[in-house]
Amino acid sequence: MCVYVCVLSLSLSLSLSLSLSLDASSGVWERVWGEHMHHGYYGPTGGERKNHQQAQVDMNDEALKWAGVDAVERFVDVGCGIGGSSRYLARKYGASGVGITLSPVQAARAQELSNAQGLGQCQFQVGDALAMPFEDDSFDLVWSMESGEHMPDKRQFVSELARVCKPGGTILVVMWCHRDLKPGETALSSKEDKLLARINRAYYLPRWGSAADIQRYAEEFGLEDVRAADWTESVQRFWPAVIASALRPRNLVGLLRSGLRTLRGALVMPLMIRGQKKGLIKFSLIRMSKPAARG
């Protein structure tokens, strides 16, 4: 019981800290980068020159292509930010859907932007990805773009993704992971743990997981066609671009005004680059399917 209460308390503390951080930082991000709050895609060699906001749109498109998503009727955007991916999915597929976020500020802004763009079929609400407020078998696409790293219980996260997915539907998770453990390893090295811990403190992250962990949970919950890809090289231009944009005088003023939580996150951006160069931090895609209902 004590262990359960301690874990629950940690989860609630992280959720509250993350929600406050999202409230503080999302306005700054929107002004500088636009409506997509995730990495950009720069091609398999990571060096293609392109507009960084277009690279974020390309990330959505390339991830969907990789996952083999051809049609969508109804989706859930888990960790929706201000709804950029939701609106993209609605336009691309003519779909309707719902986005959830821990941040009331983000949910309200996502709805405001969607209504203004004539996309009222996108609805947004405050919700916990570890206990989603939806019935079983609700969505034919379950989409999680860079929210999985924030989940304190990644096994429960995958369980919820599987629960709300319709039979025959697709689940696509794009998230920061640590490297897969090598044969014979039982844990990361102490140096690797220390680097991740510094990032965790700034971004209010729980312990990291690997793509192999997510795949294992997916198979545990009976999901099929489980596969993963490492796109770290394809996104390597993103963090340097974020740092460069943050240092522009106009953006730097906004960053300073947004408060200590946001500033602390900005100051550890170089650690993300270091982790990627060391092969510790991976930008991973994991797709899985829920078995179709048997006739």
What's the whole-number average pLDDT of the chain?
86
For residue 22, tell me if it sits in a domain: yes
For residue 258, tell me if it sits in a domain: yes
Using the 8-state DSSP alphabet, how is residue 223 labeled? -
Cα–Cα distances in Å, from 184 out to 25, 187, 188? 41, 9, 11
Helix (H, G, I), strand (E, B) or coil at 276: helix
For residue 265, tell me if it sits in a domain: yes
Q: Where is average pLDDT lowest: 119-128, 254-263, 270-279?
A: 254-263
The pLDDT confidence band at residue 5, using thresholds 50, 70 and 90, is very low
HSE toward the beta carbon, residue 249, CA cutoff 13 A? 0
User: How many residues does the structure list for the chain?
Assistant: 295
- For residue 49, what pLDDT is reported? 73
Residue 264: count other Cβ atoms within 10 Å of its Cβ: 14
The pLDDT confidence band at residue 189, using thresholds 50, 70 and 90, is very high
For residue 19, tell me if it sits in a domain: yes
Torsion of CA 62, 87, 214, 5, to 10 degrees: 160
Cα–Cα distances in Å, from 114 out to 25, 99, 117, 180? 20, 11, 5, 38
The pLDDT confidence band at residue 164, using thresholds 50, 70 and 90, is very high
For residue 208, tell me if it sits in a domain: yes
Residue with tokens 């991916």: 85
Q: Where is average pLDDT lowest: 37-46, 81-90, 129-138?
A: 37-46
For residue 154, tell me if it sits in a domain: yes
Residues paired with 210 in a beta bridge: 178
For residue 144, tell me if it sits in a domain: yes
Q: How far apart are CA 67 and CA 73, in angstroms?
A: 16
- For residue 248, what pLDDT is reported? 58
- For residue 26, what pLDDT is reported? 65
Which tens digit of pLDDT belongs to each residue from 28-37? Answer: 667 777 799 8
Q: What is the largest CA-CA distance in the chain?
A: 62
The pLDDT confidence band at residue 74, using thresholds 50, 70 and 90, is very high
Considering only CA atoms, which of 178, 162, 142 is closest in space to residue 218?
A: 162
Residues paired with 230 in a beta bridge: 284
- In sign, the C-alpha dihedral spanning 38, 236, 185, 183 is positive
CA 258 to chain centre: 22
Q: How far apart are CA 234 and CA 237, in angstroms?
A: 8
Domains held by the chain: number: 1
For residue 294, tell me if it sits in a domain: no
> Residue 75 is part of a domain; what is its CATH number?
3.40.50.150
151: containing domain: 2-289
Q: In three state form, how does the secondary structure of 98-127 look?
A: EEEECCHHHHHHHHHHHHHCCCCCEEEEEC
